[in-house]
Chain A
Amino acid sequence: MTKKTSNTRKTGDTRKANENIVLEARGITKQFPGVLANDSVNFDLRKGEIHALLGENGAGKSTLMNLIYGLHHPDKGEVIVNGKTAVIQSPNDSIALGIGMVHQHFMLIPVFTVAENVMLGDETVKRGSLDRAAVSAKITEISKQYGLDVDPNAMVGSLPVGIQQRVEIVKTLYRNAEIVILDEPTAVLTPQEAEDLFRIMRDLTARGVSIIFITHKLKEVLAVADRITVMRAGRVINTVKPAETDSAQLANMMVGRQVILTVDKKDHKAEGEVLKVEGLSVRDQRNLETVHNVSFSVFGGEVLGIAGVQGNGQTELSEALTGLRSPAGGKVTIDGQDLTGKPPRTITEAGLAHIPEDRQRHGLVLSYSVADNMALCDYYHSPFSRRAVLQPKVFDENARKLIKSFDVRTPSPFVNAGKLSGGNQQKVIVARELSRSVKLVIANQPTRGLDVGSIEYIHSEIIKMRDRGVAVLLISAELDEIMALSDRIAVMYRGQIVAIVQSKKATREQLGLWMAGAHVETA
């Protein structure tokens, strides 16, 4: 008798625990050509919690989520949803199981309205034609219920990124999702928009929705998650609670070694105006003026950081400064030499090092070897070429020297640059640019998409240049990066510099407000 009772109780307990767990991945293994993306991964999600999945790029977070969402299929292992083993062949299956996913790159069609985007794939049809009114009504209802505030008739392409993200969330709720996967949701948001998102996430969990929150930002994880699972190289390292851990420990788990999170930066005196920009205006390829009448200077031995949400003219500004685009008006001088609208080579020879925004398009020739890429700025003059003939030996020596001193992980100098990982590609560019004797460095998004280790390295190289008395213009959408490296911070909004402040006096909140276009108060 006693035996029986205890048995019953035991099964009862298991069931109770299972009721709490809405989604479980057991022993998931996925092999891609050359990479073991997921290696017997176990993961579970409880009802109404925010479970953060933390890891560097390539750690296997997105792969795991794509497997759960049905975009890929696991080689081994199973996914259990609400206590039942789920067969997920396609997104249709996962949608039917109540799983919704907000992808890092939004899956929205810019030329469709919000209602059209939301209903796509699950259309409401009345007598053969789309019932836009019914869909709009349902969207308005969902918006009200969860505090999402989206206009169903707005054209998606005209909405700010933060609102587009809400449309993605509405899309999952419209399909009655109870499990929502958010893949790097804050990568494109201003700090205020991110705060808004966190509020929405808490509202959702309060109503019983469970959230998987994928990110590589430690601060956010600690702020918003109920549990944190860290992945590295396709494996789960550990699952912890935010109260029982801190950034340093998490970073340690992510990278697998001690990481210095703060940039060690000594006070340094800035002197001598190196880059001077006066009244610069630039038009983009659609002939719209995206930079209006911008003026600023960068002094030797300082880092001027340009903060701003992507797409506020930073790309065109850096293109105009580096000679990739002719300005529509204004003047650019380096050390007093007028370089307005001059070709890139002239500007490079005047002492510019450029770490471009798109490393694969403007930074490297992917089909060239590492050695050739490292000589791209110098190949045409001695000692790299003599009487118009290239000197392979010099290329080779130069490459070996730089590979060693900049810690580029490449099998040999003759490997094509396209074969390297993102971090190592960026190191090739950094090595080429920062090893020359330059007066000015323009670094545009120098650490975008890189892992914590490479970020740490590139940051220290930038600070080294500054300490050597070189002027550095740093353009980044990562506010943390701007605040860590800059001596002065300029905020760019809709093609204008709306504020320039000493970084010591700047606060995240104030910068965030400026980035979002709040009026600058004259202080």
Chain B
Amino acid sequence: MDWKRFSFIALIIIVLFGVVVMVGHTKQPPLLIITSMLATTIAVATPLTLGALSGVFCERAGVVNIGIEGMMLMAAFFGWVGAIYMFHVFELGIGISIALGVFFAVLTGAIMSLLHAALSITFKVDQIIGGTVINILAVGLTGFLNRQLFFGKLSVFGGTVPNSPGVLPTLHVPITELFTPICGAATTCLQNVQAINRVFDQKPIAIAAILLVFVSHYVLFNTRWGLRTRAVGEHPQAADTVGINVTKMRYANVIIGGMFAGLAGAYFTIESVPSFEPLLTNGRGFISLAAMIFGNWTPIGAWAAALVFGASQALQINMQIFRDVIPPQWAFLQQSYIVGLTPYILTMIILTGIIGKTTPPAADGVPYEK
């Protein structure tokens, strides 16, 4: 990641935030708008960050994975269904049901990626086609099971969708408590501290995603595992001649990637909203790949790019809050579909390579033949 990329990212985020502040400053103080935008940005960037990490692990090991979208969708579904089963059928507690839901989502991601690994590594199927198969399979299977499990003849729920046990709780970082004695009676001080506190009060998967960014970066560039992973993605034959098992390394990394995608899926139905609807991932798996490419296949770069997309989604959400105060000369911002286009337009701009070309791993997408 060069300075050009990071400054582009910073610029876009500043512009997006700036628009919201300009529109909303009559209704709320700028600090409050900015912190709430930041909090939303970090939250909604979570699946994109995890999806991009998924792509980084797969592609650094030399396997192109465009099936992340499908893996997320499957994981979102099975995590949600798993949590419901645990709660309603096995009658486990709320907390344990939700936790097991996350586990099922990650497991689903792992199983789906095992399928992708088998197709692309063992059977050497064209990896784009393998990924497409997973995407189509995910749409079909989740749609079908969603109907059958709840409304089908054999449904244990008898035609209704039971309430899910709920969503993961927000973890509170006690900044406000810490500052209360310092601020004393000054209410503006306390209000500002509370506003800032919102940025840090995130849910577990969002926090995990950020930690995983830095862990992944360290693993990829400073450990034996990372060196070997990058070696099989750059020049598998070179790795083979020094005794590294290319097949094993690729399988393992694709499965790690799948688990990241699974966690991203859990975000949708277990962390964000406790419900499932067909096609709910809505292209985020693909946007993750754009973030990965823009981040030049590095975890930190991909995270920065994911934040841009997160910010553009936060813009969309905040525009709805400030809908009634949008000045008449900016009336087009009232059209939610125009604002909703921002992430997709950004994706296209980024992928044209105007902001500089990125270099994929040399053996990315190439099956290894001895």
Report which A residues bind B (CB closer than 8 A): 69, 71-72, 90-92, 95, 101, 103, 106-112, 116-117, 119-123, 125, 128-130, 171
Q: Is B141 located at the chain interface by the 8 A CB criterion?
A: no
**Which residues on A sit within 8 Å (CB–CB) of B139?**
none
Q: How far is the CA of A273 from the CA of B231 in the complex (A)?
A: 52
B235, B243, B370: which contacts A95 (Cβ < 8 A)? Answer: B243
Q: Is B326 located at the chain interface by the 8 A CB criterion?
A: no
Report which B residues bind A (CB closer than 8 A): 218, 222-224, 227-228, 230-231, 234-235, 237-244, 362, 370
**Which residues on B sit within 8 Å (CB–CB) of A110?**
234, 362
User: Which of B223, B241, B243 is packed against the most chain A CB atoms within 10 Å?
Assistant: B241
With contacts A109-B235, A130-B222 known, is A71 near B241, CB below 8 A? yes
Q: Is the CB of A112 within 8 A of B234?
A: yes
Closest chain B CB from A258 CB (angstroms): 38
Q: Is the CB of B223 within 8 A of A130?
A: yes
Closest chain A CB from B233 CB (angstroms): 9
Q: How far is the CA of A117 from the CA of B231 in the complex (A)?
A: 9
**Which residues on A sit within 8 Å (CB–CB) of B362?**
110-111
- 7 A-B pairs besides A121-B244, A130-B223 with CB distance below 8 A are A71-B240, A107-B242, A111-B230, A112-B227, A112-B230, A123-B227, A130-B224
B223, B230, B231, B242: which contacts A128 (Cβ < 8 A)? Answer: B223
Q: Is the CB of A120 within 8 A of B234?
A: no
Q: How far is the CA of A103 from the CA of B235 in the complex (A)?
A: 13
SS class, residues of chain B in contact with chain A: helix
Q: Is the CB of A129 within 8 A of B231?
A: no
**Which residues on A sit within 8 Å (CB–CB) of B228?**
120-121
Q: Is the CB of B224 within 8 A of A125?
A: yes
Q: How far is the CA of A72 from the CA of B370 in the complex (A)?
A: 9
B223, B234, B243: which contacts A91 (Cβ < 8 A)? Answer: B243
B223, B230, B238, B243: which contacts A108 (Cβ < 8 A)? Answer: B238
Q: Is the CB of A107 within 8 A of B223?
A: no
Q: How far is the CA of A150 from the CA of B362 in the complex (A)?
A: 24
**Which residues on A sit within 8 Å (CB–CB) of B230?**
109, 111-112
Smallest CB-CB separation from A124: which chain B residue? B224
With contacts A91-B242, A120-B238, A121-B243 known, is A112 near B231, CB below 8 A? yes
Closest chain B CB from A55 CB (angstroms): 22
With contacts A95-B243, A125-B224 known, is A107 near B238, CB below 8 A? yes
**Which residues on B sit within 8 Å (CB–CB) of A112?**
227, 230-231, 234
B227, B235, B237: which contacts A130 (Cβ < 8 A)? Answer: B227
With contacts A121-B239, A121-B243 known, is A111 near B234, CB below 8 A? yes
**Which residues on A sit within 8 Å (CB–CB) of B234?**
109-112
With contacts A111-B234, A129-B222, A130-B222 known, is A103 near B241, CB below 8 A? yes
**Which residues on A sit within 8 Å (CB–CB) of B231?**
109, 112, 120
Q: Is the CB of A91 within 8 A of B222?
A: no
Q: Is the CB of A109 within 8 A of B222?
A: no
Closest chain B CB from A215 CB (angstroms): 20
User: Which of B222, B223, B238, B239 is packed against the most chain A CB atoms within 10 Å?
Assistant: B238
Closest chain B CB from A511 CB (angstroms): 33
CB-based closest 10 A-B pairs:
A121-B242, A92-B243, A107-B238, A129-B222, A123-B224, A109-B234, A107-B241, A91-B243, A109-B235, A121-B243
Q: Is the CB of A107 within 8 A of B243?
A: no
Q: How far is the CA of A72 from the CA of B362 in the complex (A)?
A: 25
Closest chain A CB from B138 CB (angstroms): 34
**Which residues on B sit within 8 Å (CB–CB) of A91?**
240-243
Closest chain A CB from B296 CB (angstroms): 12
Closest chain B CB from A87 CB (angstroms): 15
Q: How far is the CA of A122 from the CA of B242 in the complex (A)?
A: 8
**Which residues on B sit within 8 Å (CB–CB) of A121?**
228, 239, 242-244
**Which residues on A sit within 8 Å (CB–CB) of B222?**
129-130
Q: Is the CB of B242 within 8 A of A120?
A: yes
Q: How far is the CA of A119 from the CA of B243 in the complex (A)?
A: 12
Smallest CB-CB separation from A122: which chain B residue? B242
A101, A111, A122: which contacts B241 (Cβ < 8 A)? Answer: A101
Q: How far is the CA of A122 from the CA of B228 in the complex (A)?
A: 10
- 8 A-B pairs in the complex with CB atoms less than 8 angstroms apart: A71-B240, A108-B235, A117-B238, A120-B238, A121-B239, A121-B242, A129-B218, A130-B222
Q: How far is the CA of A357 from the CA of B218 in the complex (A)?
A: 43
Closest chain A CB from B363 CB (angstroms): 10
